[in-house]
Amino acid sequence: MSTAAAHPVAAVCQATATPDKEANFSACKRLVEEAKGRGASMVFLPEGFDYIGSSREETLALSESLAGDTISRYTQLARKLEVWLSLGGFHERGHEWETDRRIYNSHIIINDKGDVVSVYRKSHLFDVELPEKGVSLKESAFTIPGPSLVSPVQTPIGKVGLGICYDLRFPELSLALRHHGAEILTYPSAFTVATGAAHWEVLLRARAIETQCFVLAAAQVGRHHEKRSSHGHALAVDPWGEVLGDCGGESPGLALVEINLDRVGSTRRNMPVERHRRDTGFYRSVEET
């Protein structure tokens, strides 16, 4: 008797990256292998899956191009296991690296043949000072904002729209992806402990509810080095806003979730917000009053 799921399965992963790229690859490879073994056709890894550096200098020194060793190893892994991968935030050397030493934060989709089919470069950079919460990060000090959104990618689990971490706070991005056919939105992240506790789940559920999409958010968890920790709680949310999987706030692991696209269709039919939405000019009309 077949035990295969009736619908395709996605694996949303949680990891604890450090500055040790080799250890990070081994840990992520184990997660991908486990996910594939448990029936996943697409595996989602978090932002900073490659590493999380302990200083600006280290972060830049460890970066690579898309043609480098790290992505090459993941394309081989995808091909060998015949699984799709969402690599949620890769430190990619910018096109002017030799002169400006700046990088992109890049979300890379690899298909089950090992081809890179899409690259989205994070467009909203996390420059936030919350002194009372002990949060101080300035991503723009070394990262170039991405030039544009990318079209949702057709995958075995549905049409996936790509975001990264701080992008979650900008509903315009999720609505734009929804308008272009997204059925699933992704927000691979390394949320801080303070902002994660306050905003992570509620924002992911809000994005799911307003777009009537599945939302898959792989996450970093725990202590990366002495200066940085992440909130965890890698999450899968359905188009009604219900949490289908939560990896918790303690340790690496994964959550498997069946992606039943009929849930997208029925949610949108029963509450057709897209049909009820006014044209973009209408929402700007407040400026003219």
> Hey, which residues are catalytic here?
47, 122, 165
Rounded-to-integer distance, Cα 121 and Cα 244, Å:
28
In angstroms, the Cα distances linking 112 to 116, 238, 252 are: 10, 25, 24
> Under a CB-based contact definition with an 8 Å cutoff, are residues 160 and 10 in contact?
no
Going 269 to 274 to 275 to 277, the CA torsion angle's sign is positive
Q: Locate tokens 């460890």: which residue? A: 62
Q: 10 Å Cβ neighbour count for 149?
A: 18
User: By CB neighbour count within 10 A (0-12 exposed, 13-18 middle, 19+ buried), where does 245 fall?
Assistant: middle
Rg (CA), the chain: 18
